[in-house]
Structure 1
Amino acid sequence: MPGAREPRPVARVLIDSPLPQLDRLFDYAIPPELDSAALPGVRVKAPLRTAGRVIDGFIVERAVENDADRPLSELEAVVSAAPVLPERLYRLARRVADRAAGSASDILRLAVPKRMVRAEKAWLAGPPAAVPVVTAEAREQSSAVLGEFPGLGERIARGERLAVDAPPALVTVAGAAVPAWARLLAAAAAETLAGGRSAILAVPDHRDLDRLQSALEPLVPADAIVRHDAAQSGPERYAGYLRTLEEAPCVVIGNRSAVYAPVIAPGLLALWDDGDSLFEEPLAPYVHARDAALVRQELDGCALLFAGHTRTSDVQRLVAIEWVREVPQARRPVPHVVLSPVQEGERGARVPSAAFRVAREALEHGPVLVQVSRPGYAPSLVCADCRAPARCAACGGPLHARARGAVPVCGWCGRSAHAWSCPKCSSVRVRLASSGSERTADELGRAFAGTRVIVSDGSHPVTEVDDRPALIVSTRGAEPVPRGGYRAVLLLDGERMLQSPDLRIGEACLRWWSNAAALAAPGAPVHLVGVTGPVARALASWTQPAYARQELAERAPLHLPPAARIARLDGDAAAVERALASLREDVPDLPHDAVLGPVPRETGEGPAGARALVRFDYARGPRVTASLRAAVVAEAVAGRRRRGGTRPGGPAGSRNTLAVRVDIADPEL
């Protein structure tokens, strides 16, 4: 036909922007000079007409459009030829973001590292990665480890969802002591890699990463191990990410963001100690690594393994509905846990006489672990006369002491309180109200004269200790790995830990104590000091899954997580009311008591703020999150219009008047 125009290629681009109204694919015409380079997955620069500027983005897909008369902006440039956003990663980011009522670009900001030009050029110019080969000896070792859990290897190969209670023991790998859980995860990864599929192992922090890597290196070729670590340099992290894009399978080890690694043919996704708070993402949309892993398992069909010395109530809910299967160990070792109550004549003593005697005897044979709740010398101070908490006169923050007789220092602003006086009784004397790791080490050093005392906390990290007698005073989670196991473990400050105003403090304490008890030598006593009740009984009997079942049963009638999901709405009072009204229309079968609030919230300057909670079951989750996300977008668009848009010369930016956070672990209005 005369005058007919040829179909034109179109790129569908995801804009890298925090604005919720831009969380969708935009169509751009591909100019002829960029046609060969504008491929799915590459980074591009594209004009954003509403903002009058060029913005970064990713090409998600290409299409051919017959309507050549539709006005489309053209791509500005292709930043790189590296396809860093494969379709499988975008699909995961989109699904995770929808579940959390968030933006896919926010998820990708966590998953795709910042571009490093030299690392990228070296990868593009280099040969493709070779397919790794797991030796017969390594396969034999990994099969033997998995054989301790009947059927575990076969279930992983079938891509099942599994929960495993890790053995509380230390093992020797290549002459070094590592926790048994690290060897278990390494064996599962080696078996998966030997089958031609990739494995992803996520752990909370760098200590766990080091231990896992030590267990993995004898089983898997070094060039098949990809480490994602926040301590890595930018080029190292980006080079590791590019390796996961290769066609050759690999084993990815890392922290919470490792669950998004776009490996080829994923066969195993494992999380160690999913109850650790480090798995909670602090950036929007605040998705817990466990939730992202569950979404990914559904998409990829890979095996999903939750391992820990304790069982979170979240995993227990999945076990209860048979979404996750338990795999018990054939012969499960149990630590020797002793409950050490404080006797009537020992009030005020931190270490009861029985535990003190055990520590003295154990020091004749090797190291003894003493776990405390807080670092420092005296984390909190009170008035010596009226016992009122000592607060900073400048900002009201809590005062603490760095050493005996030292000038109190504010924990918030850092000011020294040289002339402090109590505002209630005018006393100028302070009293040490608590003992941190350094004060505990000082006291025990005097009690056990001539004994080595080692402090391990955030300021004094120690990763490993030898078999010589020593007192290891450690904060929770910072316990060094002993080569032959601790000859005794004392768990102090348990009652203080349980007093934290946290819905899940019982789970957290049980996890801290269980992880410390797992470092004890076989048969070594583990003394839990001054604690009774369900948490103490679960530790003493080593029945952590039973405690998780009890917690889940108690929360279900109250519709508390994880028995129900909870979303929190914050923003202008009118915006919160509009979002709740839309939610009622979009989800008409929402129970009448599902919404708590809204209640007033102080916002400083600007309109009056409000906060509301929405409780909903998992079946209604997709409709609830879609409605809340639509409300966020609607408020952002309306706010932009009220402020004159974002055109050049107009008001800068668009302040969101409504914020939504889904899956609140500890709800509070």
Structure 2
Amino acid sequence: MPRRVARVLLDSPLPQLDRLFDYAIPEELAGDARPGVRVRVPLRTAGRVVDGYLVETIEGDDGERPLSDLDSVVSPVPVLPASLYALARAAADRAAGSAGDILRLAIPKRMVRAEKTALAAGTPATPIVSAAARAAAGAALAAFPGLERAIDAGERLALEAPPHPAQTASGRGVGAWAVLMASAAARTLAQGRSAIIAVPDHRDQDQITLALADLVAEEAVVAVDARQSTPARYSAFLRTLADVPCIVVGNRSAVYAPAHDVGLLMIWDDGDPLLSEPLTPGVHARDAALIRRELEGGSLVFVGHTRTTDVERLVALGWVRDLPAARRASPRVVLSAVREGESRSARVPSSAFTAARTALEHGPVLVQVARPGYAPTLVCARCRHPARCAHCGGPLHARAHGVVPVCGWCGRRAGDWACSECEATSVRMASSGSERTADELGRAFAGVRVVVADGEHPVLRVDSRPALVVATRGAEPIAEGGYRAVILLDGERMLQAEDLRIGESCLRWWSNAAALAAPGAPVHLVGVEGPVARALATWTQPAYARAELAERAPLRMPPTVRVATIEGPRRGVEEAIASVRETVPELDDLAVLGPLPRDEGVRALLRFDYGLGTRVADALRAAVIAHALRARKAAKGRHPAARNTLRVRVDVPDLDL
């Protein structure tokens, strides 16, 4: 007799199980076994029952194949729509990973009580956007002529965010970029379609939420972020499954939200490393958004104060359109250098010092520094050799001047320290952190309120009263009405980091800080020259990205080419490289860098053109599966579960061996 067959994706980290398995649907489960539900199925090779998702059903199977029956349906809620599975499958295939790994990021853990509450509540009401809100959104979008038509046409766009603060109707300060993105989302919701906004962290998310509060009802906004409890996150996920439009605001995982009829997907500041997924298979939110747009349609918009080389490459190819503003605005950036007669060791030149003193008469002043703490690093006072712990070799730190140094690794006090190079017994501070900078500026500006904002002292907002706000990069608070001056310190030290994208990163840090300044307020970049400084001073970040691409292309550095890392035992890495070369003979002799020793094994880099991406990813995935099967076979009888030790990651940001 014909039977119904369930095709199930197992929730397993084993790469060899990343495919659909067929199970017969017993009669007692026929009513609940629908596509998208969670199920439990027997796995013969493991002799146990495992979790999975019912992806699809086959009607009218001939019944001749011997199939195991579904064990149970865990929940009647279809948490895996066909569109989400297609997105997870496509993203995993591009990254040589498993669809199950993507779904673990996209679908929260099941919470029974939250699920029952959502089922009892029924379908939420369709959100309504008032005429006044539509008019306000239209006024904000009018700053970019043609933006509304481009969104309606489902285009891929890149926008330069307005670099100045704004105020909500309730008087709360937010970035003008947040108002722009909230307006686009509200307009999309008014047309009966959903919008998704992905941002790096909770600070950005709070600004978007405040901007949306002026335009749409609170019930229309669905938050997705790591701050939520597991039940709250699962409830939010269930809300996105409803056939009612909404606005999803969250971190990198928000790009996978199964919202109803997505008409707009926006990403803020795609160069922020927080949008890069650290867990396997490591798909960047930008790449997942591009894949989703190709699968589902709708408009995709990248917004930022700077332009990453990744987005600029797409603009150069014509894949993404650069849409300029009607009137281009830019902060007043000053390149501050040490004047004649000043000490070369002066950390704050007289021009920046004078600007800060003048600005403090009217409101807060932001001082951006590279590192938190008092003195992040210590060196020998005589030979300048880094001060290291005699017990473990870790770096020594000091919380304040005259305090006994402490090891940053083992925590031991180094009261009897001696230099390993010259045997001197005194140390000096090699750099100043946020706390030491606050101490120094507090003495220089006696009587002025000093606020420290860093990882240990998080500050989200400051009022409009005069204050010196010393913040590390990325931790700058929002000032009501904007900062009256911005001083960017330690720029030369930031640029010395061993990172292919350090120029991009510095330009992004400085541009984001400059955008916090009030209109017309000076922004002083201290002690930096060269292309990055000129790009900030002229506010031509896309041109800097184009120049970076031109320099990287002859050297075959990302993102002009794609780069994959292969890490594990030497034999496994070499076999994987050989397999890829056999499958993709077009790879040139310089495609592989390494393998070099790394941790317990070796690591190699594989560079390849975008046109070869599908074949390379398939070959890498096949190599991982083959290695896992060999490892399991070799460990059979000795270890119940062999661990795959060959790891592959595609689209790493730089060539770091």
TM-score bin, normalised by smaller chain: over 0.9
Distance in 2, matches of 1:528 and 1:375, equals 19
Residue 264 in 1 paired to residue 257 in 2? no
Asked if residue 352 in structure 1 is aligned to residue 349 in structure 2, the reply is yes
Q: Secondary structure at the match of 2:611?
A: coil
1:213 alignment partner, SS class? helix
Counterpart in the other structure of 1:627: 619
Q: Within 5 Å, which residues of 2 pair with 1:625-664? A: 625-644=617-636, 651-664=639-652
* Distance in 2 separating the partners of 1:391 and 1:33: 68
For the residue of structure 2 that corresponds to 1:314, the secondary structure is helix
Q: CA deviation at 1:416?
A: 2.9
SS, match of residue 412 in structure 1: coil
Structure 2 CA distance for aligned equivalents of residues 668 and 526 of structure 1: 33
Deviates more, 1:73-82 or 1:107-116: 73-82
Shift in Å, 1:182:
0.1
The alpha-carbon distance between structure 1 residues 157 and 351, as it changes in their structure 2 partners (threshold 3 A), is: same
User: Alignment partner of 2:590: what SS?
Assistant: coil
Q: State the one-letter code of the partner of 2:102.
A: I
Structure 1 residue 602, shift from structure 2 partner: 4.8
Aligned mate of 1:212, from 208, 211, 214: 208
- The answer to whether 1:373 aligns with 2:341 is no
CA RMSD of aligned residues (A): 1.2
The answer as to whether partners of 2:419 and 2:425 remain within 8 angstroms in 1 is yes
Q: Which digits, 9 at most, give the CA deviation of each residue in 1:501-535, with x for residues without a partner? A: 00000000000000111111111111000000000
- What's the CA shift for 1:601? 3.8
Letter in 2 for 1:431: R
**Alpha-carbon distance between aligned partners in 1 of 2:391 and 2:217, rounded to the nearest angstrom:** 57
Which letter does structure 1 place at the counterpart of 2:500?
Answer: L
SS at match of 2:93: helix
Return the match for 1:53 from 35, 42, 48. Answer: 48
Report how far residue 417 of structure 1 moved: 2.6
User: Which 10-residue stretch deviates more, 45-54 or 157-166?
Assistant: 45-54
Deviation at 1:422, TM superposition (A): 2.1
1:17 maps to 12
**Whole-Å Cα distance in 2 between the matches of residues 131 and 310 of structure 1?**
36
Are residues 1:306 and 2:306 paired? no
Q: What's the secondary structure of 1:357's corresponding residue?
A: helix
Structure 1 runs not aligned, ≥5 long: 1-5, 604-608
Partner residue of 1:442? 439
Offset at residue 343 of structure 1 (A): 3.3
State the Cα deviation string for residues 402-452 of structure 1 (Å, max 9, x = none).
222222222223333343332223333221111000000000000000111
Give deviations 1:194-222, integer Å, cap 9, x for gaps.
Answer: 11110000111101111110001111121
Equivalent residue letter for 1:401:
A
The one-letter code matched in structure 2 to 1:28 is Y
Q: Is 1:114–2:133 an aligned residue pair?
A: no
Question: What secondary structure does 1:368 align onto?
Answer: strand
TM superposition shift of 1:113: 0.6
Cα displacement (A) at 1:69: 3.1
3-state SS, counterpart of residue 558 of structure 1: coil
Please state how far the C-alpha of 1:176 moved relative to its aligned partner: 1.1
Give the 3-state SS of the residue equivalent to 2:631 in structure 1: helix
Partner of 2:71: 76
Local SS of the residue matching 1:553: helix
Q: Residue 557 of structure 1: SS of its match in structure 2?
A: coil
Could you tell me whether the CA contact under 8 Å between 2:4 and 2:61 is conserved in 1? no
Structure 2 residue 194 is matched with structure 1 residue 198: yes
Q: Work out which of the residue numbers 409, 412, 431 in structure 1 matches 2:409.
A: 412
Alpha-carbon shift at residue 401 of structure 1 (Å): 1.2
> What displacement does 1:93 show?
0.2
Please say if residues 5 and 61 of structure 2, whose CA atoms lie closer than 8 Å, have aligned partners that are also in contact. no
In the alignment, is residue 594 of structure 1 matched against residue 591 of structure 2?
yes
One-letter identity of the residue aligned with 2:182: A
Task: Name the residue aligned to 1:460.
Answer: 457
Give runs of aligned pairs for residues 515-554 of structure 1, distance below 5 A. Answer: 515-554=512-551
Give per-residue Cα distances to partners, 1:149-195, cap 9 Å, x unaligned.
00001101111000000010111112111100000000000011011
Deviations 1:373-401 (A, max 9, x none): 00000111112222211112232221111
The change in CA–CA distance for 1:233 and 1:602 in structure 2 (over 3 A counts) is closer
Please, which moves more after superposition, 442-451 or 456-465?
Answer: 456-465
Letter in 2 for 1:339: L
Q: CA deviation at 1:572?
A: 1.9
Separation of aligned partners in 1, 2:527 and 2:539: 18
Instruction: Pick from 303, 319, 323 the counterpart of residue 323 of structure 1.
Output: 319
Aligned to 1:332: 328
Amino acid at match of 1:18: P
SS of 1:346's equivalent in the other structure is coil
Equivalences for residues 91-490 of structure 1 within 5 A: 91-174=86-169, 175-343=171-339, 345-490=342-487
**Normalised by the size of structure 2, how large is the TM-score?**
0.98
Aligned to 2:654: 666
Scaled by the length of structure 1, the TM-score of the pair is: 0.96
Aligned AA (2:655) = P
Q: Which of 502, 507, 513 matches 1:505? A: 502
What letter matches 2:646 in structure 1? L
Name the SS of the counterpart of 1:641 in structure 2.
helix
Give the Cα separation in 2 of the matches to 1:104 and 1:413: 40
SS of 2:554's equivalent in the other structure is helix
Larger mean CA deviation between 519-528 and 414-423 belongs to 414-423
What percent identity do the matched residue pairs reach? Answer: 67
Shift, 1:659, TM fit: 1.3
Query: Secondary structure of 2:238's match?
Result: helix
AA of the residue aligned to 2:401 = R
Matched residue type, 1:474 = A
Tell me how many residue pairs correspond in the alignment: 655
Q: Which residue of 2 aligns with 1:41?
A: 36
CA distance 1:170–1:600, change in 2 (3 Å)? closer
Deviation at 1:631, TM superposition (A): 0.6
For residue 23 of structure 1, report the CA deviation from its aligned partner.
0.5
Tell me how far 1:660 sits from its aligned partner: 0.9
Which one-letter code corresponds to 2:634 in the other structure?
R
What is the CA distance between 1:578 and its match in structure 2? 1.7
Classify the secondary structure of the residue corresponding to 1:44. Answer: strand
Whole-angstrom distance in 1 between the partners of 2:202 and 2:390: 38
**Residues 571-580 or 506-515, more deviating:** 571-580
1:108 counterpart SS class: helix
CA contact (8 A) 2:398 2:406 kept: yes
Q: Which residue of 2 is the match for residue 3 of structure 1?
A: none
Q: For 1:477, what is the secondary structure of its paired residue?
A: coil
Answer with 449-458 or 566-575: which moved more. Answer: 566-575
Give the partner amino acid of 1:627. A
How far 1:65 sits from its partner (Å)? 5.0
Runs of 4+, deviation exceeding 6 Å: none
Equivalent position amino acid for 1:633 in 2: I
Query: Which piece of structure 1 moves more, 357-366 or 593-602?
Result: 593-602
The equivalent residue for 1:573 is: 570
8 Å CA contact 2:108–2:237 kept in 1: the answer is: yes
Once residues 345 and 534 of structure 2 are traced to their aligned partners in structure 1, the CA distance between those partners, rounded to angstroms, is: 23
Q: Write the distance in 2 (CA, Å) between the matches of 1:412 and 1:19.
A: 35
- State how 1:608-619 maps to structure 2 within 5 Å: 609-619=601-611
Question: Corresponding residue for 1:606?
Answer: none
Contact 2:313 2:560 in 1 (8 A): yes
- 1:552, CA displacement in angstroms? 0.6
Deviation string, structure 1 residues 621-661 (Cα, Å, up to 9, x no partner):
0011001101100110111111117xxxx512222232111
